[in-house]
């Protein structure tokens, strides 16, 4: 069983991404970070990242991302 801290972090990933989007939209409306924040803050994408984290596999996310042409945003390299 994972520890309490890692379990809480994993469960809060979608909330963190959506809050990040809201903060960037308020603070840096003309920033080049805005498109990335809007992408990661999208509820569907935030939950997809959550599923990828809980499954501990990036391959599913990379496959889905490659279908929509967003491999550069989701892959860690």
Per-residue pLDDT tens digits for 11-50? 888 888 899 999 999 998 888 888 888 888 888 888 887 7
Containing structural domain, residue 28? 4-74
Under the banding of pLDDT at 50, 70 and 90, the label for residue 69 is low
Quickly list DSSP for 11-49.
HHHHHHHHHHHHHHHHH-TT-TTHHHHHHHHSHHHHHHH
The residues near 51 (Cβ < 8 Å, ≥ 6 apart) are 60
pTM over 0.85, yes/no: no
Task: State the angle between helix axes of 43-55 and 59-68 in degrees (0 to 180), rounded to the nearest 10.
Answer: 150
Alpha carbon separation from 2 to 18, 20, 54, 58, 61 (Å, rounded): 24, 26, 11, 19, 22
Query: How many structural domains compose the chain?
Result: 1
């Amino acid at each position: 069983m994972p520890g309490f801290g890692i379990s809480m972090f994993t469960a809060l990933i979608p909330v963190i991404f959506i809050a990040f989007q809201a903060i960037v939209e308020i603070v840096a409306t003309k920033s080049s970070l805005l498109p990335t924040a809007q992408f990661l803050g999208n509820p569907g994408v935030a939950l997809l990242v959550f599923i990828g984290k809980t499954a501990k596999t990036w391959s599913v996310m990379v496959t889905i991302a490659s279908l929509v042409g967003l491999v550069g945003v989701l892959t860690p390299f």
